Structure 1
């Protein structure tokens, strides 16, 4: 029961963040070309060139967040902190990638940091954010 009470605010926050990003998206007319800036490439896992933060920067950010995340003490709190702060950090850098894109980048660049961050948040993938 306590877990559900702790998880509810996190889910509300995640939904609110999702709603905000959808509300801020520009409307497209039927004649406009689709926006392919964040569409996956033919490989399926890599985004179009120049649209994401380099993996090295993502890993440096996550590495810098580890002391804070370790100090939180609960998986739900870590997940909430990670959701809000990672989203805000990405917004300042440019387009916010999908969880799958973050997973792909961190698996290649900093697998140990990725594993530690996800373990602290009680997650197996950034797709849960």
Structure 2
């Protein structure tokens, strides 16, 4: 249990550092790449212009339902939050654009409010915007 508490912040720090290394230098855009602003928002995990995601609410809920046994077994809010952050981001990245926390909240409120509530409670969060 103590190992998870020590490991969770380290995992979050590594994930944050990795995301930062892929971002272009401010004010510099490569000739054949999107503008710096678009690249920065993409690196931050936001959805493409228009705010839509390619993953349906039903798919998100099915994924979260499948993760519940693992999350319940972790035993600490910090560990659950770290696991959820890394695994949910990785899952979304394989599906296409990574939505914002607000978009995940909206989808899960409509499609699977009970699962949403349980996942957030296990992670000690009120919203996916905290991820």
**TM-score bucket (shorter structure):** 0.7 to 0.9
Asked if the contact 1:6/1:76 (under 8 Å) is kept, the reply is no
Indicate yes or no: 2:118 matched with 1:123. no
Deviation of 1:111 after TM superposition, in Å, equals 0.6
Q: 1:68 to 1:5 in 2, by over 3 A?
A: closer
Give the structure 1 partner of residue 79 of structure 2. 77
Q: 1:75 to 1:97 in 2, by over 3 A?
A: same
Q: 1:64 to 1:75 in 2, by over 3 A?
A: same
Give unpaired runs (5+ residues) of structure 2.
Answer: 39-46
Deviation of 1:83 after TM superposition, in Å, equals 0.6
Q: TM-score, normalised by structure 1?
A: 0.73
Q: 1:88 to 1:7 in 2, by over 3 A?
A: closer
Cα distance in 2 between the residues matched to 1:110 and 1:20? 35
Deviation of 1:76 after TM superposition, in Å, equals 0.5
CA deviations on 1:61-86 (whole Å, 9 max, x unpaired) are 00000000000000010001001110
Cα distance in 2 between the residues matched to 1:81 and 1:16? 17
Cα distance in 2 between the residues matched to 1:66 and 1:93? 20
Q: How many residue pairs get matched?
A: 113
Give the structure 2 partner of residue 38 of structure 1. 48
Asked if the contact 1:10/1:76 (under 8 Å) is kept, the reply is no
Indicate yes or no: 2:103 matched with 1:93. no
